[in-house]
Amino acid sequence: MMGPYVYEAARADAPIHVQILRVGSTPRGAHSDSVRVHGRVVRIFRDREDVLHWWQRVSFLIPVIDRERTGSPELSGTIYHDWEWMGRARWFEVFLESWNGEIHLVRSQVIAIRHPTVQPVCGPDAKGFLCEGTF
């Protein structure tokens, strides 16, 4: 992990900030370190790239903990999420970017929420590595 200021800046600078309804996920393979989430956009707080619209389908990878891995994790800025817990959520608030025609998570910034909200759960003043979700 990096210092919390790196993740705070990533959220502030992310070109896309939305809430989605998760409509599915692609099961991860053995020893995979990510899960592909499929969803629909239900709230758009920021879309500087003008690539999203309401109810649009999106798909992106969430880095997840591999509980079966025996070795030490690689040193990087990636935050690995607990999919056993997070995978039960139907709603997510995410910070994304569009690159080469695909949507990507920005610095692992995804939180599980109970339901969509009018204002972001993870607002501009949020501090730390990750925002606290409401799930």
In a domain, 21, yes or no: yes
- Domain of 57? 4-113
In a domain, 118, yes or no: no
Alpha helices in the chain (DSSP H): 4-13, 83-86
Taking a C-beta distance cutoff of 8 angstroms, is the pair 56, 50 a contact?
no
In a domain, 121, yes or no: no
Residue range 73-132, pLDDT digits in tens: 677 889 999 999 999 999 999 999 999 989 999 999 999 999 999 999 999 889 999 999
In a domain, 25, yes or no: yes
In a domain, 15, yes or no: yes
In this predicted structure, what is the pLDDT of residue 69? Answer: 63
In a domain, 130, yes or no: no
* CATH (domain of 35): 2.40.50.120
Q: How many domains does the chain have?
A: 1
Give the global pTM. 0.91
State CA 10 to chain mean position distance.
Answer: 12
Cα-based angle 8, 118, 135 (whole degrees, multiple of 5): 65
